[in-house]
Amino acid sequence: MDPSPRNSALRILLAAALLYASANAIFVGPSILDVCPGYSASNVRIKGDGLTADLVLKGAPCDVFGNDIEKLSLSVVYETVDRVHVKITDASAARYEVPESVLPRPDSEHAVSPQAAAIRFNYTASPFSFSIHRASTQEVLFTTHGHPLIFEPQYLRVKTKLPDNANIYGLGEHTNAFRLPPDITLALWASDVYGVPTNTNLYSSHPVYFEHRPTGTHGVLLLNSNGMDVKLTGSDAGGPALEYNVIGGVLDFYFLAGSETDPTAVARQYAAITGFPAEVPYWTFGLHQCRFGYQNFVDVANVITNYSVAGIPLETMWTDIDYMDRLRAFTLDPDYFPLARVREIVDYLHAHNQKYVLTSDPAIPYLPNQNYLPYDNGNSLDVFMKSPNGSEYLSLVWPGVTVFPDWFHPKSAEFWKNEFARFHDLQTGIDVDGAWIDVNEPATFCILPCDDPFQQAKDQNIPPARPAPPPDRNTPIFVTSTLSRRDLYLNPPYAISNGYGDISSKTAHTNIKHANGLMEYDTHNLYGTMMSVITRDALLARRPGKRPFVITRSTFVGAGAQVGKWLGDNMSLWEHYRFSIAGMLRYASVFQVPMIGSDICGFAGDTTENLCARWAMLGAFYPFMRNHNADTTIPQEFYRWETVAEAARNAIGIRYRLMDYLYTAFHQAHVDGTPVLHPVWFKYPKDANTYAIEYQFFFGDAVLVSPVTVDDATAVLIYLPCDAFYDFVTLAPIAGHGSHVVLDNVNFTTIPLHIKGGTVLPLRTASAMTTTELRTNDFEFVVAPDAGGKAAGRLYVDDGESITPTASTQVAMSFESGTLDVSGKFGYATGVNVSRIRFLAVGTAPKQVYLNSMVLKSTQFSYDTRNKVLDVTVREPFVHGFSVQYEEYISPHQLTAYTNT
Where in the sequence numbering do the catalytic residues fall? 438, 441, 569
Residues 6+ apart with CB under 8 A from 471: 296, 297, 298, 336
Residues 6+ apart with CB under 8 A from 75: 50, 51, 52, 85, 86, 87, 88, 89
Q: Is 316 within 8 Å of 772 (Cβ atoms)?
A: no
Residues 6+ apart with CB under 8 A from 82: 117, 118, 119, 256, 257, 258, 265, 269
Q: Is 360 within 8 Å of 374 (Cβ atoms)?
A: no
Taking Cα atoms as reference points, which of 413, 431, 215, 257 lies closest to residue 339? Answer: 431
How many whole angstroms separate alpha carbon 47 and alpha carbon 114?
A: 10
Query: H-helix or E-strand containing 402?
Result: strand 400-403
Residues 6+ apart with CB under 8 A from 482: 23, 448, 449, 502
Taking Cα atoms as reference points, which of 674, 678, 702 lies closest to residue 690? Answer: 678
Taking Cα atoms as reference points, which of 326, 535, 281, 305 lies closest to residue 424? Answer: 535
How many whole angstroms separate alpha carbon 737 and alpha carbon 721?
A: 6
In a 3-state reduction of DSSP, which class is residue 778? coil
| DSSP of 654-670 | HHHHTHHHHHHHHHHHH
Q: Is 748 within 8 Å of 614 (Cβ atoms)?
A: yes
First-to-last C-alpha distance (Å) of the chain: 69
Q: Is 541 within 8 Å of 421 (Cβ atoms)?
A: yes
Instruction: Verify cis geometry, omega within 30 degrees of 0, for the bond prior to 61.
Output: no
Taking Cα atoms as reference points, which of 186, 151, 182, 188 lies closest to residue 37? Answer: 151
How many whole angstroms separate alpha carbon 14 and alpha carbon 18?
A: 7
Residues 6+ apart with CB under 8 A from 217: 210, 211, 258, 259, 262, 263, 265, 266, 685
For residue 618, count CB atoms less than 10 angstroms from its CB and return exposed for 0-12, middle for 13-18, buried for 19 or more.
Answer: buried
What stretches of 520-635 adopt beta strand conformation (E)? 550-552, 564-566, 596-597, 599-600, 626-627
Q: Is 355 within 8 Å of 317 (Cβ atoms)?
A: yes
Q: What is the largest CA-CA distance in the chain?
A: 95
Taking Cα atoms as reference points, which of 756, 776, 758, 755 lies closest to residue 767? Answer: 776
